[in-house]
Chain A
């Protein structure tokens, strides 16, 4: 009995020590792309060993700044540029593009006649309909604030509710209060079965486009980086989209050189 315990303990220590192998590629990627399983589905088609950590763009770039990620998959132009300025050796390429949706209860959403997302937000604020914000410094929240700036409205008042939580909780709160929120399409599709919300359709949704970049941080990640942003990687991304969402949500960039 004691022998078996000792062997079990030893095996455990070996297992834990073995996991800290230095030859694996560490990839930091946006929460939604990781949580949805998209990145895992993409990298499973790659021949090497890749470990994926999810986080916000800010979190991933902070760890990448310290050299802890080999490749970063992020989606905030401003933060990306700042990072590249600090790290002249880093390489950035466009990876894929998803889009944000403004979602709300079907009966109210149908009444909105706006042509652009910013106009739609102005209309929601003007009518005093409840809007739920994540207010958590995420990419989604950053985009929401940009759209409010475009709308010319100040999102302040009892109708404007902050959760400070991730997307899943924020969607549940939005649904319960028959309110509006902004959400990445991938996250919305994953949660749609539990919700009664629908997306507002726009003739022009340029402002909702959500381009992701891949950044090569450490040289050790180059092989994976080249594969991911090359033809094979783009094909793998399309297949992964189909596998995870049954449709293309993260559309591979056609010309990945930037």
Chain B
């Protein structure tokens, strides 16, 4: 019991201190996760809308691939990128390995199928009358997609939240392609792993508390936006 209270006390002291190292880690975590989510959403949501609206042979297979992608182990996504980014790899000339850029790319790879899959699900659940009306409109496929995406926007917001939650909480991909370099590529999750490896359980728990707080704030903001949007419409 004494040990547990010690660790928890240390954790809260660590958070309360909010030292420069923690601030730096938090800032990088937010920037990387936000950019990765943005890229994943910008590519994934339109793809999801298209997938949800279209009827073609093999759509089921594409859907299955996307759903599998939603569950891809982050460390596997990291490894795939690592192999590409190795100096002698296909993208080695970018010299992007162990940079925040590589971390953004790896997490975007994780965010994309989630953004696409959740959006496609929301579009597929569109009322049959809405789908019928939509296909009767005299608009381009892109215009149709825009109307459909707007119609299911609470679902799109859920896709954003799910993608952000996944990337900010994952450690496998950022550790492999980021390398957890102090002051360069260290984020909350990789810092937690490192502190835990060192048996600095208080600091590890403190970082975990910060991570959960960030995830909670982002989700509250999105839920609030959803509810406000629902009330307005």
Contacts and interface: CB of A to CB of B under 8 A. Distances in A.
B181 interface: yes
B31 A16 contact: yes
Interface in A42-85: 51-55, 63, 66-68
B199 interface: yes
Contact of A16 (B97, B100, B200, B201): B100
Nearest to B97: A68
A13 B92 CA distance: 20
Contacts of B185: 19
B198 A36 contact: yes
A239 interface: no
A216 interface: no
Contact of B35 (A16, A19, A51, A190): A16
A194 to B, nearest CB: 5
Interface string A27-51: 0000100111000100000000001
A26 interface: yes
Contacts, number: 90
Nearest to A167: B197
B50 interface: no
Interface stretch (A103-111, A117-125, A168-176, A226-234): A168-176
Given A12-B31, A19-B100, A168 B199 contact: yes
B197 to A, nearest CB: 4
A22 B194 CA distance: 26
Contact of B86 (A13, A53, A67): A67
Interface in B65-118: 82, 85-89, 92, 94-102, 104
B180 interface: yes
A15 interface: yes
Contacts of A126: none
A51 B184 contact: yes
A53 B184 CA distance: 10
A172 B196 CA distance: 10
Given A16-B100, A20-B94, A67 B88 contact: yes
A149 interface: no
B181 A53 contact: yes
A112 interface: no
Interface string B184-216: 110000000110111111000000000000000
B182 interface: yes
B181 A191 contact: no
A78 B199 CA distance: 29
Interface string A136-172: 0000000000000000000000000000001111011
Q: Most chain-B CB neighbours within 10 Å: which of A17, A68, A169?
A: A68
B189 to A, nearest CB: 15
Contacts of B96: 20
Contacts of B198: 35-36, 168, 187, 190-191
B87 A66 contact: yes
Nearest to B204: A168
B180 A20 contact: no
A248 B104 CA distance: 39
B56 interface: no
Contact of A68 (B87, B181, B200): B87
A63 B31 contact: no
Nearest to B196: A168
B46 interface: no
Contact of B199 (A19, A31, A40, A191): A191
Contacts of A54: 179-180, 194
Given A20-B101, A51-B98, A194 B180 contact: no
Interface in B46-74: none
30 contacts: A12-B34, A13-B35, A15-B100, A16-B35, A19-B100, A19-B185, A20-B95, A20-B96, A20-B99, A22-B95, A26-B97, A34-B180, A35-B194, A36-B198, A52-B181, A53-B181, A54-B179, A54-B194, A55-B179, A66-B89, A67-B92, A166-B193, A166-B197, A167-B197, A168-B198, A168-B199, A169-B197, A171-B199, A187-B198, A190-B199
Interface of B: 3, 31-32, 34-35, 82, 85-89, 92, 94-102, 104, 179-182, 184-185, 193-194, 196-201
Interface of A: 12-13, 15-17, 19-20, 22, 26, 31, 34-36, 40, 51-55, 63, 66-68, 166-169, 171-172, 187, 190-191, 194-195
